[in-house]
Amino acid sequence: MAVEQNELDRIAGLDAEQRFDYLIGRVVETGELWILTDEHGSVMLNTDDEDCVPVWPDLAFAEQWATGEWSECEAMSITLKQWNHRWTPGLEEDGFAVVVFPLPDGGEDEDGLVVWPEELDMMLTREVKRSRKK
């Protein structure tokens, strides 16, 4: 289910922590999250301290990044199961962090939260369990 433009605009106005919470709920709802890839694999972003894989809750948000220097990139969905069993251990092993739901304009609150893959996995798993109890 695609997100409507007015909803995209509303979500883009959230701060980094609110976007993190949105991503958790949306990924549990849809069963997938999104990354950008190029001919070398997953796109990486560099923060002051970490090399990170950016993740988004929807195709539309990932595609917003595929402009300018990223215009050759394509959005790729990863199922929640793939994230839990393949991506989290792989990123942990390689020492990469995850930047959750960055926005393309690069303002102060648009960078997204940087978390370790295991932390994101734990939050997703907790939300899946909570949603099953409803």
Question: Rg of the chain over CA atoms, in angstroms?
Answer: 14
Q: In angstroms, rounded to a whole number, what is the distance separating the alpha carbons of residues 76 and 97?
A: 18
For residue 106, the model assigns a pLDDT of: 60
For residue 2, the model assigns a pLDDT of: 63
Q: In angstroms, rounded to a whole number, what is the distance separating the alpha carbons of residues 112 and 52?
A: 11
For residue 8, the model assigns a pLDDT of: 82
For residue 46, the model assigns a pLDDT of: 85
For residue 109, the model assigns a pLDDT of: 59
For residue 35, the model assigns a pLDDT of: 97
Task: List, for the chain, all residue ranges whose pLDDT scores fall below the cut of 70.
Answer: 1-2, 106-109, 134
Terminal Cα-to-Cα distance of the chain (whole angstroms):
21
For residue 52, the model assigns a pLDDT of: 94
Any idea where the domains of the chain sit in the sequence? 14-124
Q: According to the CATH classification, is domain 14-124 in 3.30.360.10?
A: no
